[in-house]
Amino acid sequence: MKKSLGIVVGVIVVAGVAWVGASWYTGKRVEAVVRQGVDEGNAKIQAFMPNAKMKIEVVSLERHVFSSDIQYSLTLEGVAAEKGKPAKDVAFLLHDHIEHGPFPLARLKSGALAPVMATSAFELVNNETVKSWFELTKGTAPLSGNATVHYNRDVAGNLVLQPVDVLRPDGDLKFSGMNLQVAVAYATKAAKVSGSIDSISLDIKDPKEPGKVQLTGLTLSSDMHQGQAGLQVGTNQLAVKQMSILHNTSPAILLNNYTQNAELTEGANGLAARVMYDVGMLNLGGQDVAGVRVGFGARNLAADAVKTLVELYGNVLTRTMKQKPGEDPEQALDLPPADREKAMAAGKALLAGKPTFFIDPILVHNAKGESRFDMTLDLGDPGSTDQPIDQMITNLLQKLDAKLTVSTPMVTSILAQQMQQHGGLDAATAQKQADATTQAMAQMAVATGYLSKDGANVVGTLNYADKVVNLNGKKMPLDEFAMMVMGMAMGMHPQDGMDEEDSDQPDGDEGDEPQDGVAPDAGAAAVPAPPARRK
């Protein structure tokens, strides 16, 4: 019995010593990982914003056997103060309590038995920079979170922003708080983020122009990783269940089921980017009007050129942050000669890759129909500037395809709604007037020659390739099309004074005929007129 008990005690002692030893070793490794992470963070800041006066530091580190306490600082140097006051440094402090692996107590309490390097519980520290924020949360750390660090340096955790109510004489801001879930894979430099916000509202208390903006049911997600060119590629999404806008006495505007998606992918032909905005239903004054979708993007983008442009954008941000109060913000946009040369070189590299830019689609739809616009534009390298300008344009503009479809029933239904709301018309009268207005607009559009009628739709197509333009099935050389558009533009925007009479000049009917013996200039170029319009 004593022997058995001795064996058990021995096993417990050995296990305890092993646990202490593992925790002590892990604590040393955690410190190295923390300091390396800080160095990598500073390197990323400088890579994106060169010469930025922003730095992450380990202010203090107390390492024990089973845990460590670390305080970090993020310092912004020379932050512009109020006008007339000198710039000052601003510091944000973060306290981090780390429990060493392989079996942190926090995980054992939750039933998680798999070994890990460490667990982290961090929170923002109250100081002069964030004092007012702490006052809004009544002393609770407004930012906090937890994380688990695995031995392969993968990290999973969450971040919490506390609710705040900002009540001021000129307006109120109410924020329900936010919860983010984060997972980072160290080897692949991939990061996944998902989170939610119940509501955000801003109430403007202006006696003359009162208003309120409220967002409810916000969710966001991100799935990004580092691509071959060193850029972060992947997808980002933002969704809002409802967005309401009230302004003075105007009808309420509701955007229901709003989503925003952005995607950046990398392939054999370079980068491809796409952004999509979608409003499930636009509601005005309590009436559903239409759903709206807008999408655009590009493909065949030279990755190195895009990376250069991103770096130049970082330089602009750095200059913006260094500006003093009262300085012109546009000065930060002026590129130094070296950056200007880089931008020009990046632009040429982009065109050399023959990129494609597209709009797909601009779409408005309701129960009566949908109207849509799509366009695809292929560009190429214009070549040397020593070439004639028309040859450069031919090289640059490779191909264009565009199509517009307008549903007249959809337009009629929207006009009828607005006439009832704002014009005070009854439904039958509004419908009749809306139909007449839509038909008149359709006839005017078709009369220009740039659009045609196709059943209940007004449509227009424009295609270009190999110096030939195809407008609604009619082919013409590019220069003829350009002159036609110029002629139409001149007709829409007459020169100043063209319609004004001058009492010192002959009447409009005088002097129209050529003088005897004087013929019109035979060498004058004839400018094609735009298609005739109906009056």
CATH number of the domain residue 440 falls in? 1.10.10
Domain presence at residue 150: yes
Residues whose CB is less than 8 angstroms from the CB of residue 324 and which lie 6 or more positions away in sequence, other chains included: 80, 87
Q: Calculate ∠ Cα 411-414-417, nearest 5°.
A: 150
d(CA 437, CA 435): 5
532 vs 161, residue with greater confidence:
161
The answer to whether 255 and 242 are in contact (CB under 8 A) is yes
Domain presence at residue 468: yes
d(CA 530, CA 471): 13
Tell me which of 162, 184, 204 is where a domain ends: 162
Domain hosting residue 113, numbered range: 1-162
291 φ/ψ angles, rounded to the nearest 5 degrees: -90, 150
What sign does the CA torsion over 436, 438, 439, 444 have?
A: positive
**Residue 5: per-residue pLDDT:** 42
Residue 526 in this model has a pLDDT that exceeds 50: no
d(CA 264, CA 234): 5
Question: Kind and range of the H or E element at 242?
Answer: strand 232-247
Q: 453 is written with which tokens?
A: 């009628």
- Summarised one tens digit per residue, pLDDT across range 63-107 is 888 889 999 999 988 776 666 677 788 899 999 999 988 888 778
Residue 9 in this model has a pLDDT that exceeds 50: no
Closest C-alpha to 118, from 94, 96, 152, 151: 151
Domain presence at residue 32: yes
**Residue 17: per-residue pLDDT:** 42
Residues whose CB is less than 8 angstroms from the CB of residue 211 and which lie 6 or more positions away in sequence, other chains included: 203, 204, 245, 246, 247, 248
The answer to whether 234 and 225 are in contact (CB under 8 A) is yes
Domain presence at residue 147: yes
The answer to whether 395 and 429 are in contact (CB under 8 A) is no
What sign does the CA torsion over 104, 107, 112, 116 have?
A: negative
Q: Which of 352-356, 461-465, 509-513 has the lowest mean pLDDT?
A: 509-513
- Summarised one tens digit per residue, pLDDT across range 290-303 is 999 999 999 999 99
d(CA 201, CA 174): 5
pLDDT band (50, 70, 90) for residue 441: very high
**Residue 91: per-residue pLDDT:** 92
Domain presence at residue 360: no
**Residue 199: per-residue pLDDT:** 97
d(CA 23, CA 101): 6
Mean pLDDT on 174-200: 95
pLDDT band (50, 70, 90) for residue 19: very low
Residue type, 321: M
pLDDT band (50, 70, 90) for residue 321: confident
Mean pLDDT on 179-201: 95
- Does the pTM exceed 0.85? no
Residue 150 in this model has a pLDDT that exceeds 50: yes
d(CA 237, CA 271): 19
Across 64-170, where does the E strand assignment appear? Answer: 67-79, 88-100, 118-124, 143-149, 155-161, 164-168
Domain presence at residue 410: yes
- Summarised one tens digit per residue, pLDDT across range 47-61 is 877 777 889 999 999
| Number of domains composing the chain | 2
Domain presence at residue 515: no
370 vs 332, residue with greater confidence:
370
Q: Looking at residue 121, what DSSP letter applies? A: E
Domain presence at residue 357: no
Residue 21 in this model has a pLDDT that exceeds 70: no
- The Cα-based distances of 322 to 48, 81, 84, 88 in angstroms read 15, 12, 16, 12
The answer to whether 357 and 377 are in contact (CB under 8 A) is yes
Residues whose CB is less than 8 angstroms from the CB of residue 356 and which lie 6 or more positions away in sequence, other chains included: 298, 299, 300, 376, 377, 378, 379
Closest C-alpha to 191, from 219, 224, 221, 236: 224
pLDDT band (50, 70, 90) for residue 333: confident
d(CA 404, CA 384): 35
**Residue 15: per-residue pLDDT:** 37
